[in-house]
Amino acid sequence: MKKLYIILCVALALTLSCQNNRDNNLTEAHIYIVNSGLQSVEFYDLDTEPTASVAIHRSGYFSENATVNVEVSEQALIDYNAANGTDYQMLDAQNYQLSTESIAISKDERGGNFEVQFNYDAVATLEEGHKFVVPLLISSNLAVTEGKEVVLLSPKMLPAEIFFAPNKVETVRWSKESTGSWSRKLTVSVPFVNPTDVAITFDTSKSAFDLISQGATSWYNLAPADAFQIVGDTVLPAGSSELTLTLEVDFTKLPSVYRCSIPVVLTANSENFAINQSNFYYLLHLQQDGIVPTIVDAGDRRQKWSLLECNSCHGNMTATTNNYFHMIDGDATTFWHSGYNTSSFINDNISCSADNPYIVAWNLEAPHNLVAVELTRRSYKDYIAGYFEVSEDGYTWSKIATFDHIAECGGNETLVGPYRYEFNGDANVQYVRVCVTNCQRGTAVATYANIAEFNVLEATVSAEE
> pLDDT digit string (tens) for 374-413?
988 877 666 678 899 999 898 989 888 888 887 887 777 7
Q: Which residues make beta-bridge pairs with 185? A: 246
Domains annotated for the chain, with CATH where assigned, are 30-158 (2.60.40.1740), 161-289 (2.60.40.1740), 294-461 (2.60.120.260)
- Supply the pLDDT for residue 401: 84
* Angle in degrees, CA 220, 429, 174, rounded to 5: 45
- Supply the pLDDT for residue 51: 93
Task: For residue 333, give the 3-state DSSP assignment.
Answer: coil
- Supply the pLDDT for residue 3: 46
Report which of 202, 207, 258 is spatially closest to residue 228, judged by C-alpha positions: 202
- Supply the pLDDT for residue 197: 94
Count other C-beta atoms under 10 Å from residue 121's C-beta. Answer: 9
> pLDDT digit string (tens) for 12-29?
444 444 444 444 445 678
DSSP annotation of 350: B
- Supply the pLDDT for residue 464: 46
Sheet of 30-33, strand order: 96-98, 111-118, 51-59, 30-33, 143-144
Q: In angstroms, rounded to a whole number, what is the distance separating the alpha carbons of residues 387 and 437?
A: 8
| The model's pTM | 0.60
Q: What are the 10-residue block averages of pLDDT along the chain, 465 residues in total? A: 43 44 58 92 89 89 84 94 95 94 88 92 92 94 91 94 83 78 92 92 87 55 88 94 94 76 91 91 83 76 79 56 76 76 54 71 88 82 80 89 81 81 75 84 60 85 51
Q: In angstroms, rounded to a whole number, what is the distance separating the alpha carbons of residues 453 and 377?
A: 7
Radius of gyration of the chain (CA): 38
Based on DSSP, count helices (H) and strands (E) in the chain, helices before strands.
Answer: 5, 29
Length of the chain: 465
Per the prediction, the chain carries an average pLDDT of: 81
H/E segment holding residue 206: helix 206-213
> pLDDT digit string (tens) for 82-108?
999 999 999 999 999 999 999 998 888
DSSP annotation of 151: E
